[in-house]
Structure 1
């Protein structure tokens, strides 16, 4: 339906064909398609995929209690608690997601729709599914340690995103970690219509550590909400963490390529000041 709509009635000028029907079907034609006033990306990504994540892990939590005589196991509790903090952060900070690569650069095709409607409900809840009937008996102290480690990672992920948001919203006139104004680069670029514009590239706070530092606490948070499975001998409980690492690493490389084309010498200057993509000393 989105393919036909993209050909016949695109919602905006942010649409187009590659000349390949298969490619248009898989990657999509429109950046912001709307059907009867409904934003397709918001509906599939936020209102369906992410909401099922919430419902799914709470359902698994209830089943774990059923299987254990009405008692919720500590491992299950800390895993679901970390995920609920992360998901609460997502909905509280939904405007931040609206500025992500999924929304701003990836078109709405089979790739995104299937991913949000099928992959997210199945894979993103996989560790809770495993723990439902297989959660090991861990102590309250260990559960609390895992919980606080995961919660701190979620907070750092939020704080790094919020730091960049405030910097952009104030056009660089804010204070970051005691520095006002924070260190930054004024990058000039041209739009597709040839219009000259500028962007501010933050080189301070969390964003002095690496160019995509916010991916580090997100990956670590996913590890901690799987960690209560301990050494289960199975990949299953940790599959999402492996997948997320690959996904975000690929996204970091794609974003770097896009920014290099957009900003040219200014991006090179930025990379000279912040040489690491994600993890300092590794990549």
Structure 2
């Protein structure tokens, strides 16, 4: 490929994608009937771009240009209409990656599993027609829209955490937060604002699990409230209680006009905390 999928336009696509689709669309069936198969091809291309190679049942690498056609698509499709494709990460023979695409009406659910490495499941739900908008378009590039969004979303939610898990499992350092040792992760998190911490916890189940650590919330409580309290039943709840009380006091001071200029300037940053839906994570 001379460029990646996220750089596609309505005039150009990566060479590999366009060549595979020529084979797929040469099938006698209506292009509309294989809309989800076209999306699966996009997902496979994204996996390949990020260093994952499709393999067959004998764990042999599948050459995309030569082997991905309607016959191969049929092999990936189960009796229940679910597609299952296996990959390996380039340079690693162990740690097979299993991608499962389940049609759900106008959307598909993508689940990716690493059974040999951990019990995590990495998931994303994709609206088919957002990306495969016109299967019968006059040119192949015009079939698609918003491929940059698809590429970035899939990378952030699927390929980056998977790659990090595989690298960590094999003892290689990873630039992803997911791949960091827990102690180092906590040292980074303790330097962040509470809102940044909440946002990180929303990115994936793994980081959410790490951020639920009671020791972390104990350290955050001491950091933000200068307290020497040594025991609490639930440090997250204790932090939320103290945070709410502090912001309520700021609100009262602002209404009375007794707050400092600094309070007035900062208040706009915190005014949404009261009904902020992010608090359910804490």
Shared fold, TM over 0.5: no
Larger radius of gyration: 2
Please identify which structure carries the higher strand content: 2
Q: TM-score, normalised by structure 2?
A: 0.28
Q: Which has the higher contact order (CA 8 A, sep 6+)?
A: 1
Q: TM-score, normalised by structure 1?
A: 0.28
